[in-house]
A and B are shown apart, each in its own frame.
Chain A
Amino acid sequence: MNKVIDAVQSDAGVQQALETALQQEFKEEWKDIAPLLSVRELNKFYAPGKGCGDINFDLYPGEVLGIVGESGSGKSTLLSCLSARLTPDSGNVIYNSERFGEMDLYACEESMRRVLMRSEWGIVHQHARDGLRMNVSAGANIGERLMAVGERHYGDIRAKAEEWLTAVEIDTGRIDDRPSQFSGGMQQRLQIARNLVTHPKLIFMDEPTGGLDVSVQAKLLDLLRNLVSRLGLSVIIVTHDLAVARLLAHRLMVMRRGQVVETGLTDQVLDDPQHPYTQLLVSSILQN
């Protein structure tokens, strides 16, 4: 293993040049399009080494960005900061809103952030119970965002709930059942439907397949991939599972101890990892 790393490091200069060139090309291609989300010098630490720091990146419309790393690497803290749920110690998160135009998430009124959360954004939590109301029916879970934006016709709300249940492949006969009666995979799909009903632009996902069986994971990933491409969603997905990242993400950010150690196109990072830590991550998944 050490030999591999040595070899790669000796070759680092070449690799660096290659990567820079690739990124240059990437930027050329996107130069006329404004990023949907820009992150600059973001820092959030609970204690030294616990949190995330020096985060900089842009997310473009329609792009799926994967944030990977082992648990404790700060990726969930970062996601919370990005999705306006945790105020960073310093730095900016600029979002290009359909409704408000360009806005600095933590410099603007909280009311604006809250409007985003129930309209232009969606959040899919790792644990369905954090993202669903477990004590009300599936229909009410999907209908909540509609009612929050002023829908007041019971029949219409119900019809839309049925539509979205179908879209995430849940039998409409389960509309009055509570999420607690659903399997883990169904709960995740319900969470997705609940978010998508108001046609958000940007979705944040925190380990959406965590804790699910492999076969259930595959089905959920397939569904997610179809929805993302069909609806042209932008997504930031946090996962420790490189297979999930490979399947969904266009681009990857690898985190370790609160820092980003490597970024690049997904295939590039996974097939030709530069940083020793990424190499370790990739090799460990190969061994599995």
Chain B
Amino acid sequence: MYVAVKGGEKAIDNAHALMRTQRRGDSAIAELSVDQIRQQLPLAVDRVMNEGSVYDPELAALALKQASGDAVEAIFLLRAYRTTLPRFGYSEPLDTEQMQIERRISGTFKDLPGGQILGSTYDYTHRLLDFSLLAAGEAEMAPEEANALSEALAAGNSCPRVLELLNKEGLIEQSRESGLDDQVPRDLTREPVNYPAERAVRLQNLIRGDEGFLLSLSYASMRGYGDSHPFSGEMRTGRVSVELVPEELGFPIEVGEVLLTESEMVNQFHGSKDLPPQFTRGYGIAFGRAERKAMSVALVERALRAEELGEEVLYPTQDQEFVLSHTDCVSANGFVSHLKLPHYVDFQSELEMIRRLRNEQSQATQSKTTNEEADA
């Protein structure tokens, strides 16, 4: 006798047990600790923090471990944790001018107040596989050398942002309309996005967005699909203190520090009959050392300002709804992977329909031939 397929519960349990075994790999090899991930895969941790929208390197490292190193899965884990956290309040706006800079690069001025600081970077390394890492691991450094380097890495002084120099001359648009107070931005994770979305919401969306998607979009915008020919005004990485005003105190207190990367792009000038030409801005910021992400955000962010700046909207990169609806890797991954769920009922409905249509068609042809024969 036919018995409907049962045993979903057991199957799920078994599948999860198998996954845990696979994640552990060969038990003869030492298990990876969360601290090791945090210390030795910091760029992976930064990406998970950014798209997971939580500044917590330890939890991000834990998520990476739990997800077998799959960034998207790890981001998902962190997001699902984040959503349950109580909201104590919103921090004061971060002052990135006061950033304790560890790296600072300007593509527009050779020398500038505060100077260029190369810091730590993969730029200019020759991309040759370092087989010494395969053999014996990183060579130990001489203590003096190590000290010198960690001193160099230690935070430098704060300095004004390059774009503020241009601003003083009126060469670049104001980052906000003069005379307007700071707007309290909407919280994207509490309210649905309504289109057209204001700039603060667009930026929130992009900063949580998938790094690969944003990178490709910004690439497209530079290649002509988006009219973007920017200069990298400044990119800076460093620590910034976070302040909060507790209701019961009524004045700001420092609650901690975050490591940030900020990118400010200077884009082609713009003007109209009444307005003299001015450079325009594209802005991006990200947790940790995430230059690729911050720059991509700044490029796409600028492309999305087309409408606001009265430019013609011709390409997907300038189209809010197209970009903002598809940046989120958790959503994208969920929706694509949901095709793995059963669709028996819908497919059955299609089967029934297609059979019926085919039947009707073959009957129609048959009766046509019969008629023709009868006529003959």
The count of chain A contact residues (Cβ–Cβ below 8 Å) is: 4
Question: Does A45 touch B at the CB level, under 8 Å?
Answer: yes
Closest residue of A by beta carbon distance from B311: A46
> Which residues on B sit within 8 Å (CB–CB) of A46?
310-312
Measured CA separation A46–B273 after assembly (Å): 10
Measured CA separation A48–B276 after assembly (Å): 11
Question: Does B271 touch A at the CB level, under 8 Å?
Answer: yes
Quick one: which of B270, B272, B312 has the most chain A CB within 10 A?
B272
Q: Which secondary structure dominates where chain B touches chain A?
A: loop
> Which residues on B sit within 8 Å (CB–CB) of A17?
none
Minimum C-beta distance from B234 to chain A (A): 27
Closest residue of B by beta carbon distance from A48: B273
Q: Which secondary structure dominates where chain A touches chain B?
A: strand
Cβ contacts B90-111/A at 8 Å (1 or 0 each)? 0000000000000000000000
User: Which among B272, B311, B312 is the interface contact of A48 at CB below 8 angstroms?
Assistant: B272
Measured CA separation A47–B270 after assembly (Å): 8
Cβ contacts B234-273/A at 8 Å (1 or 0 each)? 0000000000000000000000000000000000001111
Minimum C-beta distance from B323 to chain A (A): 22
Residues B310 and A48 in contact, CB atoms below 8 Å apart: no
> Which residues on A sit within 8 Å (CB–CB) of B272?
45, 47-48
Measured CA separation A47–B310 after assembly (Å): 8
Residues B311 and A45 in contact, CB atoms below 8 Å apart: no
> Which residues on A sit within 8 Å (CB–CB) of B270?
47
Which residues of chain A from 24 to 49 have a CB within 8 Å of any chain B CB?
45-48
Which residues of chain B from 285 to 337 have a CB within 8 Å of any chain A CB?
310-312
> Which residues on A sit within 8 Å (CB–CB) of B312?
46
Cβ contacts B72-84/A at 8 Å (1 or 0 each)? 0000000000000
> Which residues on B sit within 8 Å (CB–CB) of A48?
271-273
Minimum C-beta distance from A187 to chain B (A): 23
> Which residues on B sit within 8 Å (CB–CB) of A45?
272-273
Closest residue of B by beta carbon distance from A50: B312
Measured CA separation A45–B274 after assembly (Å): 11
Measured CA separation A245–B18 after assembly (Å): 76
Quick one: which of B271, B310, B312 has the most chain A CB within 10 A?
B310
> Which residues on B sit within 8 Å (CB–CB) of A47?
270-272
Measured CA separation A48–B269 after assembly (Å): 13
Closest residue of A by beta carbon distance from B270: A47
Measured CA separation A45–B309 after assembly (Å): 12
Minimum C-beta distance from A88 to chain B (A): 12
Cβ contacts A36-76/B at 8 Å (1 or 0 each)? 00000000011110000000000000000000000000000
> Which residues on A sit within 8 Å (CB–CB) of B310?
46
Minimum C-beta distance from A178 to chain B (A): 19
> Which residues on A sit within 8 Å (CB–CB) of B273?
45, 48
Measured CA separation A46–B310 after assembly (Å): 6
Closest residue of B by beta carbon distance from A53: B273
Closest residue of A by beta carbon distance from B275: A48
- 8 more CB-based (< 8 A) A-B contacts, given A46-B312, A47-B272, A48-B271: A45-B272, A45-B273, A46-B310, A46-B311, A47-B270, A47-B271, A48-B272, A48-B273
Residue numbers of A with Cβ under 8 A of B are: 45-48
Top 4 A-B pairs, shortest CB-CB distance:
A48-B273, A46-B312, A45-B272, A45-B273
List 11 interface pairs A-B (beta carbons < 8 Å), by A numbering: A45-B272, A45-B273, A46-B310, A46-B311, A46-B312, A47-B270, A47-B271, A47-B272, A48-B271, A48-B272, A48-B273
Residue numbers of B with Cβ under 8 A of A are: 270-273, 310-312
